[in-house]
Amino acid sequence: MAQNYKNHLRFYPLHHFVLTPLSLAYLGLVIASDDFQNSTGLDALRELLLPVLIVFLLLIARIYALKNQDRLIRLEMRQRYFETTGQSFFEKEKKLGMKKIIALRFASNEELATLVEKALAENLSPKDIKQSIQNWQADNMRV
């Protein structure tokens, strides 16, 4: 199936449907347990430390992956914009911001420059940018 605005959201099943729900359930079970409810001070902290660390480790790993992906998308957009227009993307990216750059990533090379100008002129939201794309460029390798 071809990727488009309606089906472009991605989930990583192991993260979204296994590890995150299990870690949150574990945290909830610890908090709801009688042992935790009857603990005080250092004992309560000791019981809570492991599940909280697991949740934070999963969040940090996800944030690192997304930040790295954002950097790659920004570099890709700089290269594509330069290849299609012969001009630097630096000034435009400052005005657009990362969310709009990510949205523009789905535009084909033929419509990229025009859509960048439209996004700047009309202050389009990322959603509006994605909905304006005529020739969707799929990104099946996103995290």
Instruction: Give the pLDDT of residue 23.
Output: 96
pLDDT higher than 80, residue 140: no
Instruction: Say how far apart CA 48 and CA 89 lie, in whole Å.
Output: 47
pLDDT tens string 71-122: 999 999 999 999 999 999 999 999 999 999 999 999 999 999 999 999 999 9
Instruction: Give the pLDDT of residue 117.
Output: 97
CB atoms within 10 A of CB 23: 19
Q: Quickly tell me which residue has 């990229």 as its tokens.
A: 112
- In single-letter form, the type of residue at position 39 comes to S
User: Which among 141, 103, 143, 138 has a CA at the least distance from the CA of 3?
Assistant: 138
pTM: 0.80
Tokens representing 123? 């202050």
pLDDT band per the 50, 70, 90 thresholds, residue 12: confident
> Any idea what DSSP says for residue 18?
I
pLDDT higher than 70, residue 138: yes
pLDDT higher than 90, residue 34: no
Instruction: Say how far apart CA 50 and CA 32 lie, in whole Å.
Output: 15
Q: If you compute the radius of gyration of the chain from its CA atoms, what whole number of angstroms results? A: 21
Residue 100 class from Cβ within 10 Å (0-12 exposed, 13-18 middle, 19+ buried)? buried
By percentage, how much of the chain surpasses pLDDT 90?
73
